Every structure is written in C-alpha cells, then in structure tokens.
Amino acid sequence: MNATLALQLPAMMQRARGSGRIATKLRAGVTVIDRLYQDGCAKIRLPHTHSNALEAVLINTAGGLTGGDRMDWTAEIAAEGKAVLTTQACERIYRSLGDPASVHTRLSIGAAAHLDWLPQETMLFASSQLDRRIDIDLAEGASLTAVEAILLGRDAMGELALDAKLRDNWRVRRNGRLIHAEATQLTGTGSERGAASLLDGACAFATIVHIAPLAERRLETVRALLPTTGRIAASAMGERLIVRAMAESGLALRRMIVPIIAGLSSAGSLPRLWHL
C-alpha cells in the first residue's frame, strides 16, 4: 500500500468482543453444567461449592469496556434447578470517543427453578457511555433474585463522572407475559445528578428485584433488614418485590444492600466474591 494513502486512512481501533453462554441440568438433585460456550474476552469459571446450586463466575478478560465494545451473556437454568451467577469484579466502563459500550444479558429460568443474578457493581468513569439490556424469561413457578448496582466514578479518587451516560433497560416475562419493566437513563447533565427528585447528589445506586409466587409475603422481612438511616426503600405487589437504594459511596451502598441480597438469595448467603 502506498505510504501516503495509508496515512490518509482512518485508524481502526481494536474493540473488545465477548460472548458467554451457560446451560444447566439436574443430576441426582444437584444442578450441574450441561453446556458451556465462551468466545473472545468472555470467560466463565465454575468454583467448587458445597451447595446443590451451581455457581458460575462471569469474567471480562479485557479488564473493562469502552466505546464500541460489546459483551453478551446468556444463561439457561433447567427446571427445578438452582444457580448463582456473579462476576469476578466490578465491570468498569471507560471513556468513550463515540459509540457506547454495549452489554446484553439473557436469562432463562425453567419451571420451579431459581436464579440468583448477582453481578458486582458497574463503575462508570468520566465521559463513559453504557447501553445495557437485561431480558429475563421465567417459566411457571420459577423465581429470581437480581441486583444491579451503579457506581459513578471512583470514591478514592474523588471522581464524580458527571458526564457519564447510561441507558439501562430491564424486561422480565413469565411464560411470555411481561410482568416487570423498567428503564434508567443518565444523560450526563448536572440537573439529574443533583435534583432532589432524582439522584440528589448520590454517587451510587442499586435496584434489587425479587420475583417469586409469594414475594409479597416477604416484604416485612425485607423491611426489617433495611438500615435505619440511608436512602433505601422496599415495596411489593403480587409476585414482585423491589428494593431501591442510593448512597454517597460504593462502600456505603454495598453495606446497605448486602444483607437484603443475602436474605433473598436461594442459599441465604452471597458468593465468596461478594464478601467485604
């Protein structure tokens, strides 16, 4: 190629791509691996536990995501199975020069099965952009405990990531019927970060969703776990129980939500990677 022409061509930036898929089956009442697929920077590890539930750790070997990167995760939990999915560390979303980073998660939970979807926090750096979607399908009698937490900047560095942008969409269906939907959007403007009706200066926030046939009956138990101080509340209607929390730091947020997640998980405890 002519050297002059090469200088005129736009530089092609390397992008992270990852796809991980896991499916389970039952063997003598224990949930075990059935199929496993991993590609690119997506890796899945299966630590040994003393539980009947299968625990899987999702890993992004790229070390974080930036504009144009894409991650896809898929999990299928067999009927009557139990599984816990978590991540090795916080997912870091770095500065973007154009397009957002994209993360799409698809979870399918078989009849009378339970899934704990417990990824560690997602950290948005300054000028970062993240477009995330979570699609969850539950069969008859299936249950779910899911958490997603967002950190805006690094506490230790005094970062606020005021210009970070986020589009986050959840869709939860039972037998194909939509039972829960929510959307969160940060546009990188100061008003939404400081307004009393929005984040009110919080640098960390989380949503916990528990869906089970008798979820409403657990509301008082969950409220008893809420700290007496802090911006956190729980509500329930029918088979949906929702907890929302905001805090001034990631550590403060984790201390608020850990007892609640542990109380709602199928094992009554958290994966070892979640321990403070």
**Structure confidence at residue 11 (pLDDT):** 52
User: What distances in angstroms separate CA 137 from CA 157, 213, 224, one per listed residue?
Assistant: 39, 15, 30
Distance CA 106, CA 85 (A): 12
The number of residues making up the chain comes to 276
pTM of the predicted protein model = 0.92
Q: The tokens 């997640």 sit on which residue? A: 261
**Structure confidence at residue 7 (pLDDT):** 47
**Structure confidence at residue 116 (pLDDT):** 97
**Structure confidence at residue 9 (pLDDT):** 41
**CB atoms inside a 10 Å sphere around CB 109:** 26
Profile the chain (276 residues) by mean pLDDT over runs of 10 residues: 47 82 96 97 93 94 95 98 96 93 98 97 96 98 97 82 94 97 89 80 95 94 92 96 96 95 87 80
Query: In sequence order, which residues have a C-beta less than 8 Å from that of residue 247 and are 6 or more positions away?
Result: 202, 203, 204, 205, 230, 231, 253, 256
Phi, psi of 249, deg, nearest 5: -150, 165
